Amino acid sequence: MTEHLSYLNLNSLVDGELSADELAMANVHLSQCPSCTSDALRHSLLKSAMGKAGQRYLPASDFQARLLRRLREDHSHQAVSQADHVRPSVLRSPFYGWAAAVALLLVCIGAVLVQHVGSRRANASAQYAALATEACDQHIAALAENSPPDVISSDRHTVKPWFQGKLPFSFNLPDNLPAGTTLDGANLTYIHGRPTAQLLYSIGKHRVSVYLQQRSDDISASKLSTNRSGFHVISFNTGDISGIAVSDVEPARLADLVSIIEHAQN
Partner 1 sequence: MTLLPWKRADRESGTQTSPFEEQALPLLSSLYNIAFWLTRSSPDAEDLVQETMLKALRGFSSFETGTNFKAWIFRILRNTYLTSRSGLAARRTVALEDELRETGESGPAQYPEAAIDHQTPEINLIQMGDRVALQAAMENLPAPLLEVILLCDVEEMKYKEIATVLNIPIGTVMSRIARARANIRRALTRVFEPSTEIEL
Minimum gap (Å) between residue 22 Cβ and partner 1: 13
The yes or no reply on residue 95 touching partner 1 (CB under 8 A) is no
Q: In what order do the strands lie in the sheet with 224-228?
A: 151-152, 181-191, 194-203, 206-214, 241-247, 231-237, 224-228
Minimum gap (Å) between residue 49 Cβ and partner 1: 4
Question: Between residues 65 and 105, which has the closer beta carbon with respect to partner 1?
Answer: 65
**Rounded Cα distance, 27 and 12, in Å:** 13
Q: Which of 20, 53, 86, 179 binds partner 1 (CB under 8 A)?
A: 53
Residue 14, C-beta contacts closer than 8 angstroms, at least 6 positions apart = 40, 43, 44, 47
The yes or no reply on residue 84 touching partner 1 (CB under 8 A) is no
Within residues 16-45, the interface with partner 1 by CB under 8 A covers 16-17, 35, 38-39, 42-43, 45
Question: Between residues 12 and 238, which has the closer beta carbon with respect to partner 1?
Answer: 12
Identity of the amino acid at 8: L
Among 47-55, 132-140, 166-174, 183-191, which window interacts with partner 1 (CB under 8 A)? Answer: 47-55
Minimum gap (Å) between residue 229 Cβ and partner 1: 47
In DSSP notation, 21-48 reads HHHHHHHHHHHH-HHHHHHHHHHHHHHH
**CA-wise closest residue to 199 among 137, 239, 154:** 154
The yes or no reply on residue 172 touching partner 1 (CB under 8 A) is no
Identity of the amino acid at 234: I
Binding site for partner 1 (CB under 8 A): 4, 6-8, 10-12, 15-17, 35, 38-39, 42-43, 45-47, 49-60, 63-65, 67-68, 70-72, 74-75, 78
